[in-house]
Amino acid sequence: MEVIGSDGPVPASEPVPLVALLGRTEAAFIAEFDCRIRESEFSALSLAHSRNVLRHLAGGPLRASHIVGRCDVSKQAISQQITHLHASGYVHVEIDPDDHRARVVSLTDKGIRAQRLVGRLFAEIESDWAQVLGEPDSLALRRVLTKALDVVPRGGCPPAEAPTTSTC
C-alpha cells in the first residue's frame, strides 16, 4: 500500500503511520454511521452532533458552557451544533433562570429517541466490525486503544509557559 506523506509517497515497505490508520478507521466508522443515520427518521443528525452535544445531555439539562467544557471542540462549533439541533427539534434551549446570560440545553422527546438510535447504531457497527475482524482481534483492538488512552497524555504537549518579563 502506498501512502502519500508530506515528503511524497511513502514506500510500501514502510509501515503506514499510526495516525493515518487511526484517521482512516475513524473516517470509515463515521461514513458507516452517516449512511445508517440517513436511513432513519433522524437524518438531520451527524456523528458530531451526537458526540459533541447529545451524549452529554443523557443525565439531564446542562448549560451550553458545560457542554463546551466537556468537548475538544470550540465554543463556536458547539453553539452552531446546538442551534442546528434546536432548529431540528432535538433539544430545547432556555435561558438559565439563575444566570440570564447562560443557556440551558435539554433533550426533547425526539432527542431522546435519536440518542437511543445512536446507541444502537454504535453497537451495530461495532458488532459488524467484530464479525469482520474476528472477536479476538476486535477485543484486542478495544483493549489496546483503551490502554493507549490511559497511558498517553491527553492533548499531547503540556501548555507552554508564559514568557517571563524582566523588571530590570
Are the C-beta atoms of residues 47 and 119 closer than 8 Å to each other?
Answer: no
In a domain, residue 153? The reply is: no
Contacts of 120 (CB under 8 A, 6+ apart): none
In a domain, residue 54? The reply is: yes
In a domain, residue 9? The reply is: no
Please tell me the total count of domains within the chain: 1
Are the C-beta atoms of residues 72 and 156 closer than 8 Å to each other?
Answer: no
In a domain, residue 5? The reply is: no
Supply the CATH number for residue 118's domain: 1.10.10.10
Q: What are the b/e assignments for 30-54, b being 16+ CB within 10 Å?
A: eebbeebbeeeebeebbbebbbbbb
The confidence band for 9, taking pLDDT boundaries of 50, 70 and 90, is low
In a domain, residue 31? The reply is: yes
Phi, psi of 160 (to 5 degrees): -70, 145
Mean of pLDDT over the chain: 86
What digits encode the pLDDT tens for the residues 89-145? Answer: 999 999 988 888 889 999 999 999 999 999 999 999 999 999 999 999 999 999 999
Question: Region 47-69: what's the mean pLDDT?
Answer: 91
pTM of the model: 0.74
Distances 42 to 25, 35, 92, 118, 121 between C-alpha atoms, Å: 24, 11, 16, 9, 12
In a domain, residue 39? The reply is: yes
